[in-house]
Structure formats: structure tokens, C-alpha cells
Structure 1
Amino acid sequence: MAVRLNSQIAKVVLMVALLLVSLQGFVWHRLLQSHHDQGHEHPMLAGARGLSSRRETIIGSQEDVRENNNNQQQQQSRNRLPDERRLHRRRQPSIEKQKLSLNIHPPKVATARTVSPYLKHPLFEGKERLLTILHEAHFFNDSAAEFFQDDARVEALAKQLPSWETVTNRLGGESPVIEGLETCETYQKLVPPIDRFLGVAGLFATGTNLLASLLVANCQNDERIRAGLGAGVRWQVNWGKHSPARYRMENKIDQKLKNEIFLPVVSIRHPYSWMQSLCRQRYSTHWFHNAKEHCPNLVPNDIDRKWFKFVQKYGKRGVKSLYNDPWLSDNLLDTANFTLDSEVVPVRVRYKSGTLYHDSLPDMYNSWYHEYLDADFPRLVVRLEDLVFHAKEVVTKVCTCMGGSVRDDFNYITETAKVGDEHIHGKQEDRTNMIKTFTKWHAENRTKNMTSEDVAYAKESLDADLLKMFQYSHPSKENP
């Protein structure tokens, strides 16, 4: 009896609970309907909807960012192509990646960086030209005004810079020297615009890296750009930048290109400065010498003969016990046909295309450049010194010779590029080295470690016509 009663009570309780739930739902519905009719939203519902709204906002913003990034990537991808037609989408050689758009050169923006008001600073009288070059190379960073407010820095810079008169005395004149401009018309007639290439060449230690950097950063073949084929500027000619001109048709770096379509741009350097540089880094040029005691050594003396006898007696082990540096020891171990009877120090040069022998370093210099100067194909020869002091003018004339165009806002190179033994561009310390480079050209002792016999031999053996062509003179007391 009791069990039946409990069961009935449980049923009643369940029915009441269901009734209450139904009633509560009805009340909520009426309440929400009432708020809706009055244009309001229930606070609890508003709170819940606020959380949802914030979540949607966050998700939406993330999607907007992703969409924006995708759009930017797509736009950047489109901008890499040369024009709206985008006819050629093939991969370009790495050397020309930076030249795939006609609009790669950003427009100049007027800033407060101008150095013009300070060109009349009394400490820079006669040095205005160098001050302008430093400004164009962004030496003063964001503001020349800020720099010139620091008297200590201004005085230090003024002391380091040579006068322009000193520079021109060293260079042999006010204007840059470019040999071969008369061949530009011939080159443009022989090679169709879309096939034209500039390629760099030059002896070791003559600024080929700087020349290539300047050309790549500032010059482009517009016809090739429009066709999506790259800028038409290579770091070296297709037969190798250090190879003599005789190998022009015997060697190929890029098998797909004809060597004849390259316009060689050859760098040359003052021969005495060049020989001094080789003493610091000889590359694949071999001649018997002790770089620390007698170099450049054109005419052997007692020092050379002493070391030759030492090598003959003690050999490789003896030399390396004194000089652990492989470069220093190799200079002595590789005699390059030198003997105790040699009247001058002979030279052997190993190129990728072959090995050549010369009577001396001056003979090597004469021979290498005459092969290009006497060639029957178009070519240009520019001076390394002009790449430092007349970079914009030289690059403009070279680029025009090919039929190309030069960027309006000339780039003095923001990456490091060797100028002999200096790195003159890039970070602030590299830009400081640009000043050292200016100083170097007028302060360098071009006959350092040379004997009077060496200097006399150089004057006799270096080709006088070659030196005159590039306004190079033999060192003197007035111009060492």
C-alpha cells in the first residue's frame, strides 16, 4: 500500500515540475517579446550577444589581417613582373633579380638631409665636392643639420678630407677618363637592344667588384626589363672577368649566351697602386718575393737572393717554421721561374682558361690591358679612381653606351664592395671607411718598399702611351 502511494506522489511531483518548466519558458518568451516590441534588448541577452560580437570581431580582424597579407603578397608578386602584360614568368638569373621591374627605383622624397647650406662652411673650403659625394652616399644619415651642430665631428671630418685640388692632381685632371666611348655606336648596331649585356672585366685588385656593384645597382636594359628577361648587367663578362681578352671566344660561363653580345666594361688602376695592392693580396699571380721585406720587387736585390738561398737549403719546413701564414710562405716556395741569375723577377699567372708567363709585374700590366685596348670589338675601359670620385658620371656614360637607363636617385652602394683593400659602403663604419678611401688616394705611398732600381725599372718598362691614355704619371717627390 505504501509503495503504491509513493509511486503516485512521484508522478505528481514530476507533472508539477514539467508544468513549472513550461510556465517559465512561456514567461521568458513573453518578456523577451515585450522588450523586443519596445525596441529594447534584455540585459542578459545583450551580454551574451556582446561576447559573441567580440569573438566575431576578433575572428574578423584576424581574417582581415590574413586577407590583407594575402593581398600584399599577391601585389608584391605582381610587382615583380615587368609590366601588365607579364609575358615571361620564367625564373631569372639571381644576378638580375633586383632588376625585374621598370619601377624598381623609388621616387626621391624631399627631406631635411640637404647639405647645400653647409657647403660654405669655412672648414670645408676647397672640399665641397667631396662633401657633396658624402651627402649623396647618405653619410649624414637622417640630417646634415644634426651633424653640423657637432663641432668635434665637423672638425674631425674636415681634417680627414683632402682638398679637391689634391684629388685632381692625383687623378691627372678634373674629369673622368673613359676609353672606348667611340665603340658604343658600333656595339648598338651589332647587338639588338633586347640581347645587350654589360659585363665587368679587369685585372686582379683593380676594383671589379665595385664597378659591378655600381652598375648592377644603377643601370638596366629597359628592353630586357619589358620582356621580363632581367636587367642585362652581369658581374663579369661571359669568358671570366680576370681572363685576358684572348680568351673571349674560348671560354663560356653561361652556355646559353653568346660572348659577342657582351659589352666589356674593363677597370684599370694606377700601376704603382696596383702593384702595392698585389703585395697585400696576390690572388693567382705568382712571383718570388717576401711580402714583408721587399715588395713590389721588380729587380732582385740581396734580400731576394738571401731568401732564395734559404728556400733552397731548408725547403718547405724551414719556410713554414718562420711563416705559418700560407700566403707568405707560398710566395717564397713558388719561385715562378726565378733563379739567382734573374735580372728581373718573372711572373706566372694562373687563369681559369690557362697559365701565362710574363717578364715582370709591369710586363703583366702592359700585356693584359693592351689585349683589350687593341681589340677589334667594342669595349670600355674605366679607371678605379674615377669610380670613387666620379661614380655617377662614369656609370651614366657606361650605361648609355649599352643603350640602357640609369636610376634617378643614384645609388652609391649600400652593400660592402671592395675598393682595393678598403670596404667603403654599407653600415656607418663602412661609410666611415669611405672617408678613409678618399684619404687613401692622396696619402698612399705608391713606392713603398720599392728600391731605386725597382722604380727605375718601372719607369722604363711601363708603357708610356698606356699611362698617358689614362692620365697616370710616375710617382715623384711632389706627387708620391
Structure 2
Amino acid sequence: MTDVPDHAASVLSPKIVAHIPNPASTCSDFQSSVPAENRLIAVAGLFNTGTNLMMKLLNHNCVMPKRKTPFQVPWGKHNPVDFRGVHFAKSSKGQIPEHFLPVVIIKDVVTWVNSMCKNPYVAHWQHKYKCPQLVKEDLSPVEVEIKFQEDKWGHRNYENGLVEAWSTWNSDWARASFPYVMVRFEDILYNQEQTVKLACECAGGHLAEVFEYQDDPAKGHGGKEGAMDVLKKYGDETKRFQGWREADLDFLSRVVDQDLMNMFEYRLPPVIENR
């Protein structure tokens, strides 16, 4: 386990926080409804949340009966939860969604917005000033369009921008009625083994005898930072808010889904909480 830097601990809880819809039955329901030889575990999460890192950790360390960890859930790992059973990624056609236990990754909203500024993927918004620009000069929100898929149905518009996109995507998952495990990106960084163990055992698997930690850059595209590079960023509070204006911080505090923040024990920075 890696110690949580003091500055990082001021924003998130230093213990592992996972959301399982019904802790008493979710894992057993999944295991009893899917034969052992058909059980699969795969990642889902918004862009820039560490899905590739978690996939590599599961692939190297989670032993499932006769199965290798797939790259993603069948409906596409970045897609909203309502794509499940309706859309299939090109490499996943013919797969049965009910055979998968999704491991959904959520990331601190401030850090996620910063990551989207660096690598927006298929999100489009206007930011005249240094990103992030969550509100315009008249303090109205900057809308964001995310093209999860090329067809019109796959386009989602968020009037309240990136903060609404983060809140909606994750809160929709947190209300899903089928088995899943939702974990924090920060826990994958600070406690890889215990976080992987929690997800793997829920799917009916077990950890390999020797745990293989991951620090190499997990992406084949985008950023080239390893886990330790990201850890250093979480240990420097000043880097978290570079480019953030007072108006952006105020907008964040008013629009972010506070229930979701509480569920995962994310804490708004003192500059916001003390207003």
C-alpha cells in the first residue's frame, strides 16, 4: 500500500471506498446466476479514469475460471450505462452482457476535469481561456457535447458542461439495478492489491499467488504517465487547481452531484467548503 499524501488526503478519504449496490447479495447473486466457466470481469469508466490501468491489473492478478480479462464490457467501457444490452463494441459482438461483472471506475471530479483538458477524447466544448472554463464571461455554463458513438443517439449534450457530464455518467451507474462494483481511481493508485482483490472476489475469482503491481503507462494512446507520476500529482495541491478561476470553483460547488461526492467520500477543497 502506498501512503496517501497529505494534500491528497484533504480531498479524498484515505481508505478504500467502493460502491456495491447491495453488499449483502450483489456478489453472490452474480455468482449464482452465471456458471463459473462463463463468468467475466471487465472495466467501465469515463475517459481518463484509469480503465486501462485497472484492466491490466485484473488481467495480471485476477484468476477467473478458464477466462482472461476482456479489454472492456461488451457495450463499450466509456459509454453510459444505458448502452448495456443495446449497443455492442466491434470486438464484443456475440458476448452476453449478463455474464460480465462490470468494475466501474470513478475519479475525483477536479482531477478528472483537468485530465479532460489535457486529453478531451470525443468531448467538445468552447473554452476561450485556459482550460478549464466551466462558465462564460456572463457566468452562464459552457455546454459540452460528448460523441460516445457516431450515430445521433450516441451523442449526449450536457448543458452544465463537464461537471454535469461527470455527475450524470457516474450517478446513472450508481443507480444501476444489475450487479456491478464501482471503485475509485485513487484507490487503484494507493492500494492496488486490495482494490483488485475486492473486485475479483466479487466476480468469483481470486488473486494470483504473487501480485503484479503496475506502474508503466497503461495507455497505448494519450498520456504517458505511470502510476507513480500520477501519485506525485495527487501529492501537490497547487497542481490540482492550475487554470481554475474563482467562477469555475463556484460553479463546481453548485452543480456537482453532492450525493455522489458523499457516496465516494470525495471532499471539495477547503477553498470551496469554507464558503
Class of the TM-score when normalised by the shorter of the 2 chains: 0.7 to 0.9
**Percent identity over the alignment?**
31
C-alpha contact (below 8 Å) 1:171/1:385 kept by paired residues: no
Indicate which of 199, 202, 220 corresponds to 2:63: 220
Q: Given the alignment, which residue of 155, 158, 169 partners 1:358?
A: 158
Native 8 Å contact 1:170 1:441 kept in 2: no
CA distance in 1, matches of 2:114, 2:193: 27
Is the contact made by 1:422 and 1:437 (CA closer than 8 Å) also made in structure 2? no
What RMSD, in angstroms, separates the aligned Cα atoms of the two structures? 2.4
Structure 1 counterpart of 2:43: 200
Separation (CA, whole Å) in 1 of partners of 2:146 and 2:121? 9
1:184 & 1:345 partners in 2: Cα distance?
40
Matched, 1:300 2:136: yes
Query: Contact 1:238/1:259 (CA < 8 Å) preserved in 2?
Result: yes
How far, CA to CA, are the matches of 2:7 and 2:259 in structure 1?
Answer: 22
Aligned partner (choices 462, 468, 472) of residue 256 of structure 2? 462
Residues 45-89 of structure 1 deviation map (CA, whole Å, 9 limit, x = unaligned): xxxxxxxxxxxxxxxxxxxxxxxxxxxxxxxxxxxxxxxxxxxxx
Q: How much has 1:421 moved relative to structure 2?
A: 4.2
Asked if 1 retains the 8 angstrom alpha-carbon contact of 2:261 and 2:267, the reply is: yes
Which residue number in structure 2 is paired with residue 424 of structure 1? 226
* Counterpart Cα distance in 2 of 1:255 and 1:299: 40
Q: Secondary structure at the match of 1:234?
A: coil
Distance 2:5 2:214 in 1: 25
CA distance in 2: counterparts of 1:282 and 1:376, whole angstroms: 30
User: In the alignment, what sits opposite 2:142?
Assistant: 345
| Mapping 1:1-20, distance limit 5 Å | none
Offset, 1:417 = 1.2
Query: 2: distance between equivalents of 1:263 and 1:474?
Result: 30
Shift of 1:203: 0.4
* 2:191 corresponds to: 390
What is the Cα deviation at residue 298 of structure 1?
A: 1.1
**TM-score of the superposition, structure 1-length normalised?**
0.51
Secondary structure at the counterpart of residue 381 of structure 1: strand
Compared with structure 1, are the counterparts of its residues 345 and 164 closer, same or farther at alpha carbon in structure 2 (3 Å cutoff)?
closer
User: What does residue 93 of structure 2 align with?
Assistant: 255
Corresponding residue number in structure 1 for 2:233: 440
Q: Which runs of 5+ in 1 are unaligned?
A: 1-128, 131-162, 302-340, 426-433
Query: What 5-or-longer segments of structure 2 have no aligned partner?
Result: none
Q: Distance in 2 between matches of 1:364 and 1:414?
A: 29
Once residues 179 and 440 of structure 1 are traced to their aligned partners in structure 2, the CA distance between those partners, rounded to angstroms, is 25
Compared with structure 1, are the counterparts of its residues 414 and 204 closer, same or farther at alpha carbon in structure 2 (3 Å cutoff)?
Answer: closer
CA distance in 1 between partners of 2:182 and 2:166 (Å)? 14
Instruction: Report deviation, 1:476.
Output: 2.4
| CA deviation profile, 1:14-53 (whole Å, cap 9, x unmatched) | xxxxxxxxxxxxxxxxxxxxxxxxxxxxxxxxxxxxxxxx
* Cα distance change, pair 241–164 in 1 and its aligned pair in 2 (3 A): closer
Conserved 8 A contact 2:131-2:243? yes
- 2:72 is matched with which residue? 236
User: What is the CA–CA distance in structure 1 between the aligned matches of 2:247 and 2:205, rounded to whole Å?
Assistant: 48
Contact 1:447-1:475 at 8 Å conserved across structures: no
Query: Is the radius of gyration larger for structure 1 or structure 2?
Result: 1
Aligned to 2:209: 408
Q: Which residue number corresponds to residue 272 of structure 1? A: 110
Q: Secondary structure at the match of 2:183?
A: strand
